[in-house]
Amino acid sequence: MGAWGFLLRMVMGKITSVKCPNCRKETPWEGNPNRPFCSERCRLIDLGAWANEEYRIAGEKKPAEEDEESDD
Ligand SMILES: [Zn+2]
């Protein structure tokens, strides 16, 4: 399930409302500029959490040192 089940339902035209991935509040799909989130706040919180996670994962790896072709 997850995003793909969600997309599938959307493509099949059966989505009229979604649950906000952040706060789980039922929120309308049509005419919702922040979909699938209920509000801009939830959208930004989720994006922030995702960016944080990416940053954390990236931070655990040591940067590749073989990538030093130019030196601006
Ligand atoms: Zn929300």
- Residues of the chain with pLDDT > 90, as a percent, come to 26
- Is this model's pTM higher than 0.85 or not? no
Query: In which residue are the tokens 């997850």 written?
Result: 2
Ligand 1 centroid, distance to 69 Cα (angstroms): 45
Ligand 1 centroid, distance to 17 Cα (angstroms): 13
Tens-place pLDDT, residues 20-51 = 999 999 999 889 999 999 999 999 988 787 77
Ligand 1 centroid, distance to 3 Cα (angstroms): 16
Ligand 1 centroid, distance to 11 Cα (angstroms): 22
Residue 21 or 66, more confident: 21
Q: Where are the beta strands (DSSP E) in the chain?
A: 17-19, 26-28
Where do the domains of the chain lie, and which CATH numbers do they carry? 10-51 (3.30.50.10)
Give CA–CA dist 64/53, Å, rounded. Answer: 20
